[in-house]
Structure 1
């Protein structure tokens, strides 16, 4: 089959097995491995404004360097040390859709490092599919509607440089909301869901502080400002790898609580939500949720993560193939229904 010209990631993911394709992507992640014969290959994740693709690059693939304005030769090989530094760089891809164990697999047969001036990574940067104006408006509505000391604290925290970074930051390097404005999109989804759950629980007769729920939900992932960075693609910081965003978020929160004079009771309420929002110790929470507010935020966070994985897994499926590939993050396949 003749290769299509310059498809985006969404179009590539819809191709049938055997299809050839060409595309321009930004490398999000790359790791070198060895096959059963000891030959090196690479697991690569690439992204564009339409999403991301995970692919294999086998030992017989070509790696070319066309990053200079005037290439030294018609066939400039990319050395291994440059290959390992491709994260965040724009590359040209020649690939093929293969079938492996009944599932589609993307193989990149030729990767070309392009001129980063002519093909700037920012032009291929994934962003939230929701307009930033809508996200910002929804966030402001939640903050304005939050009362008491927790609401006053939010209105002091989410200003200036912190707000600017929070608005633009990714929520992850992979798995979910791994794009610009992803942290804001995920936080809003969690906070709106948590608020609805809290209101429902109040109606059912449970003693739930809705202002604490909203504030805790809006603050729960604040540690990701220190765990990730947004250069051309989302990247994890050294601190993020060693300390994780839960611990970093709690440290940043305590600094802000001291700066703005948060009372001990409110600091404990909100700090507990930050430390327990992953729900279980094996998922990275040093403590498990022990208050109604913490249980609600943790549940909303888990639900939004799983809903994102479902949507990302089924969005390109057809009626003929309604079951997704295995999703490692959630340990299941999804049904498009």
Structure 2
């Protein structure tokens, strides 16, 4: 059964009761200003995402939270309301949430896909690699982007479950957008090592091909992604290639540093294991952060 057009998230902009199907992207137990525990749930469909709140009996909050399966599609009964008042932002208070079987919904209602031309984006990457002067960096990138098994995953993978580029093809979109931002930075700051920066940009999120699952259901995190996170996975993938290619140690350290620090200062708590210290690492971080934040604004 397909969702009704008026029940897609992009159309939920009036206060009303609702009973429809949504996929579960995130869940977390929070405490209100009045001290009441509740479950904060991010729901998604192919048109976008929405914040939902569920208020079970206090003694049932933990068990209800644990019973909600990330990546599942559920029939949700609740009420759409504007919160805070006059903010123009609509949320859902969830009263009943029931997981559905695969034959009870249409998968295409819950999987978003990029609207960009894949060939154009791939062309941008290929031209960047072709124009590189550093043979070690060029060979490293070719070891990834000339590998059909890798590119089939990279060109289709999402970049996230929620927030930004959380759709099929999102990783490719995000990578090329960060590349374009970094290219502009090189025009402003010509002393940046362009080959090093672009190599870091193209490889910083490669681990996301193993971090998320999709295709047989809504986007969800894989076991590997849950336990290791994409930054570690990316580093391991790149390190393995560099060891096989005998990449010079100094260059290897520069690339690994960019990947490990691309989520910014450790104090931010966004996943970096070290602060970005080189000009190229800082440029990658700010380019990545700018693209993610602006894209999230447009997706909401």
Which TM-score applies when normalising by structure 2?
Answer: 0.80
Contact 1:6–1:21 (CA under 8 A) maintained in structure 2: no
Hey, what does 1:212 align to over in structure 2?
196
C-alpha distance in structure 1 between counterparts of 2:274 and 2:101, whole Å = 48
C-alpha distance in structure 1 between counterparts of 2:223 and 2:266, whole Å = 22
Hey, what does 2:278 align to over in structure 1?
291
Hey, what does 1:145 align to over in structure 2?
131
C-alpha distance in structure 1 between counterparts of 2:276 and 2:151, whole Å = 27
Contact 2:140–2:245 (CA under 8 A) maintained in structure 1: yes
Aligned residues: 284
C-alpha distance in structure 1 between counterparts of 2:207 and 2:219, whole Å = 15
Hey, what does 2:160 align to over in structure 1?
172
Q: Which runs of 5+ in 1 are unaligned?
A: 61-79, 314-337
C-alpha distance in structure 2 between counterparts of 1:194 and 1:250, whole Å = 21
Contact 1:275–1:287 (CA under 8 A) maintained in structure 2: yes
Structural mapping, 1:231-250, within 5 Å: 232-250=217-235
Hey, what does 1:56 align to over in structure 2?
53
Contact 1:125–1:179 (CA under 8 A) maintained in structure 2: yes
Secondary structure of the corresponding residue to residue 168 of structure 1: coil
Hey, what does 1:201 align to over in structure 2?
189
C-alpha distance in structure 1 between counterparts of 2:200 and 2:183, whole Å = 10
Give the drift of 1:9.
1.0
Hey, what does 1:74 align to over in structure 2?
none
Of 127-136 and 166-175, more deviation after overlay is shown by 127-136
Q: Which runs of 5+ in 2 are unaligned?
A: 58-62
Structure 2 residue aligned with 1:29, among 26, 29, 37?
26
Q: Deviations over 1:255-288 (max 9, x none)?
A: 0111233222332222221122122122332222
Hey, what does 1:127 align to over in structure 2?
113
Give the drift of 1:123.
4.4
Work out whether 1:277 is the aligned partner of 2:262. Answer: yes
C-alpha distance in structure 1 between counterparts of 2:206 and 2:19, whole Å = 38
C-alpha distance in structure 1 between counterparts of 2:261 and 2:290, whole Å = 15
Give the drift of 1:227.
3.4
Contact 2:73–2:218 (CA under 8 A) maintained in structure 1: no
Larger radius of gyration: 1
Structural mapping, 1:40-189, within 5 Å: 42-59=39-56, 84-102=67-85, 103=87, 104-149=90-135, 150-158=137-145, 159-189=147-177
1:92–1:242 CA distance, 2 compared to 1 (3 A)? closer
C-alpha distance in structure 1 between counterparts of 2:36 and 2:258, whole Å = 47
1:93–1:258 CA distance, 2 compared to 1 (3 A)? same
C-alpha distance in structure 1 between counterparts of 2:79 and 2:154, whole Å = 38
Hey, what does 2:243 align to over in structure 1?
258
1:240–1:280 CA distance, 2 compared to 1 (3 A)? same
Contact 1:5–1:22 (CA under 8 A) maintained in structure 2: no
Give the drift of 1:31.
4.7
Work out whether 1:223 is the aligned partner of 2:210. Answer: no
CA RMSD of aligned residues (A): 3.1
Structural mapping, 1:317-336, within 5 Å: none
Of 248-257 and 41-50, more deviation after overlay is shown by 41-50
1:105–1:82 CA distance, 2 compared to 1 (3 A)? closer
